[in-house]
Amino acid sequence: QKEVEQNSGPLSVPEGAIASLNCTYSDRGSQSFFWYRQYSGKSPELIMFIYSNGDKEDGRFTAQLNKASQYVSLLIRDSQPSDSATYLCAVKYDMRFGAGTRLTVKP
């Protein structure tokens, strides 16, 4: 069974801090990885995707991929209260989603 695992949290960080969200996956053949943000009562929205080992930065968000260790992470710098949401990791081979990590950024 191909699995995507995330710490369900909740994760709480103060405003301005770095929030670190982690995801591990079981299928070594996976090629592409996605982070979605889902506000309560809303549908998921794509934040970032990453295909290659290393870091990919987009504004305050950095995705990190380590295929040897089979994990992908999302760092949110200068966290804002508006970042409070559930973050979902997804792996492309059949677009399976992790359980999601609920992030709360406290003012």
Q: Which residues bind other proteins (CB under 8 A)?
A: 32, 34, 42-46, 49, 51, 88, 90, 92, 94-100
Residues 71 and 17: their CA atoms lie apart, in Å, by: 22
CB nearer to other proteins: pick between 40 and 69: 40
Residues 65 and 87: their CA atoms lie apart, in Å, by: 16
Residue the block writes with tokens 């996956």: 25
Q: How far is the CB of 16 from other proteins (least distance, A)?
A: 29
Q: How far is the CB of 99 from other proteins (least distance, A)?
A: 5
- Length of the chain equals 107
